[in-house]
Amino acid sequence: MTTSPLLVRYAAVRARSLALAAPLSAEDCGAQSMPDASPTKWHLAHTTWFFETFVLQAHEPGFAPFDPAFRVLFNSYYNGVGDRHPRAQRGLLTRPSLADVLAYRASVDQRMARLLPAVAQDAAICTLVELGLQHEQQHQELILTDIKHLLFCNPLRPAYHTGTEGADVSAVPGVPGSCGVSGAADTAAALVWHAFDGGLIDMGHAGDGFAFDNEGPRHRVFVQPFALASRLVSNGEYVDFVEGGGYLDPSLWLAEGWDWRASLGLTQPLYWPRVDGGWSEFTLRGLQPLHAALPVVHLSYYEADAYARWAGARLPTEAEWEHAAAHALEQAERESPCLAADGMGVAPPQPATTHALSAFFGVAWQWTQSSYAPYPGFRVAEGAVGEYNGKFMVNQYVLRGGSCATPPGHERVTYRNFFPATARWQFAGIRLARDPD
């Protein structure tokens, strides 16, 4: 019997979740720092619940649930599946234990391993399994952003991992150094503006590869001429904004952003505590001196928008970003065909190069000015899986690209990430755009 390629992929993705949890204790895995963030244990269980509920329950002969109570405990937001545990109380679920959840994972993995070879020819099931894997990859990023927030709430400022750069890449697969502090150059490359003619373009996903439903249908849009910055805004540039009074000038802020900022008394990014009079940054490696050349991350939409206005620029639209990223990708493939085979052309975690558009992927999510809305012709899928994306299309803003915490291979040029304008705990940064002179 041959091994199913999907099963190989299944095993690899599932293993990576465990690897991400490996540096953490059971105590670390159980705590929830805010309603927006979930415990690692919950992520491990919920991703498993997805496979059990949507794949095994429908297709496994003689299906019996691992534990009927898990159906409620680990449902995130699927009304179609029934009741669910209140989101803000996920940190109170000390039972099942982490060990129990690991046993749950093992059981579902074992059953999936039996099922997958038998259904390898069933496209619908394979699509569903792939959706589950992509879903798990999304939660892998959340494991990192959520544990970072939890650890930051601890006055001890503990590190998620402490190895040297080389060491930790092997120790924690998929957590590149840029999520901590890299050995990057001291200064960022000069920011260069790349001009685009715009016009009638096509955007959104089409074709055979996997994409989430919200990435399609591929459709035509008309884009005005625009220019895009060659790289992301750096920490050093953002320090200039902060120290130049950017957080205290209402003319730079959206009215709602200003009220939000003022009510919380915010004067700097979330993870930038002052230490001994200097700027520090809390990272997955613990507290570090702020590295001026690296891209600024963990900004809300409001902060990104205010910075852009201060810089005489603006945030790009989704269409602008996708158009430029597709262009850069094509160019890269021409120059280096093997990059295409490598998947997404992930930029290495380094300060921007000077000669070209860089850092579309693998560094930081990039706020766009586009509200998260359905593409023309978008339809939600039938059944509970249809609750995946469509019902969140209000009062959120789209981020494009991918961050240092995004699993390798998970990015796509059509990928649409989305968060409320207040969200600060994601690896979200700024790529500037502007209208032609």
> Which is nearest to 321 in space by CA: 424, 430, 179, 212?
430
Distance between CA atoms of residues 425 and 148, nearest Å: 8
How far is the CA of 130 from the CAs of 14, 120, 125, in angstroms? 12, 12, 9
Distance between CA atoms of residues 246 and 205, nearest Å: 38
In three-state secondary structure terms, 32 is coil
196 binds a copy of itself (CB under 8 A): no
Of 10, 81, 91, 297, which lies in the binding site for a copy of itself, with binding defined by CB under 8 A? Answer: 91
Per-residue binding letters, 105-144, with a copy of itself (x by CB under 8 A)? ----------------------------------------
95 binds a copy of itself (CB under 8 A): yes
Least Cβ distance, residue 205 to a copy of itself (angstroms): 16
Instruction: Please work out the total of residues on this chain that contact a copy of itself, with binding judged by CB under 8 A.
Output: 64
187 binds a copy of itself (CB under 8 A): no
Of 1, 190, 200, 338, which lies in the binding site for a copy of itself, with binding defined by CB under 8 A? Answer: 200
216 binds a copy of itself (CB under 8 A): no
Per-residue binding letters, 354-393, with a copy of itself (x by CB under 8 A)? ---------------xxx-xx-xx---------x---xxx
158 binds a copy of itself (CB under 8 A): yes
Distance between CA atoms of residues 11 and 412, nearest Å: 22
Q: Which amino acid is at 260?
A: W
Nearer to a copy of itself, 112 or 150 (CB): 150
Contact 179, 284 (CB under 8 A): yes
Distance between CA atoms of residues 342 and 332, nearest Å: 12
Nearer to a copy of itself, 1 or 156 (CB): 156
Least Cβ distance, residue 248 to a copy of itself (angstroms): 11
Distance between CA atoms of residues 24 and 144, nearest Å: 11
Least Cβ distance, residue 94 to a copy of itself (angstroms): 4
430 binds a copy of itself (CB under 8 A): no
Per-residue binding letters, 8-37, with a copy of itself (x by CB under 8 A)? -----------------xxxxxxx-x----
Per-residue binding letters, 409-428, with a copy of itself (x by CB under 8 A)? ------------x-------
Cβ neighbors of 338 (< 8 A, separation 6 or more) are: none
How far is the CA of 81 from the CAs of 46, 139, 398, in angstroms? 13, 19, 27
Nearer to a copy of itself, 171 or 380 (CB): 380
Question: Which single residue is written with the structure tokens 């500037």?
Answer: 432
Distance between CA atoms of residues 295 and 403, nearest Å: 11
* Candidate segments 53-61, 251-259, 358-366, 423-431, binder of a copy of itself by CB under 8 A: 251-259
218 binds a copy of itself (CB under 8 A): no
How far is the CA of 27 from the CAs of 33, 41, 152, 353, 437, in angstroms? 13, 10, 15, 42, 55
Q: Which helix (H) or strand (E) holds 306?
A: helix 301-310
Distance between CA atoms of residues 315 and 305, nearest Å: 7
Q: Return residues touching a copy of itself (CB under 8 A).
A: 25-31, 33, 69, 72-73, 77, 79-80, 85, 89, 91-98, 150-151, 153-156, 158, 200, 219-222, 224, 250-251, 253-258, 301-302, 305, 314, 369-371, 373-374, 376-377, 387, 391-395, 421, 435
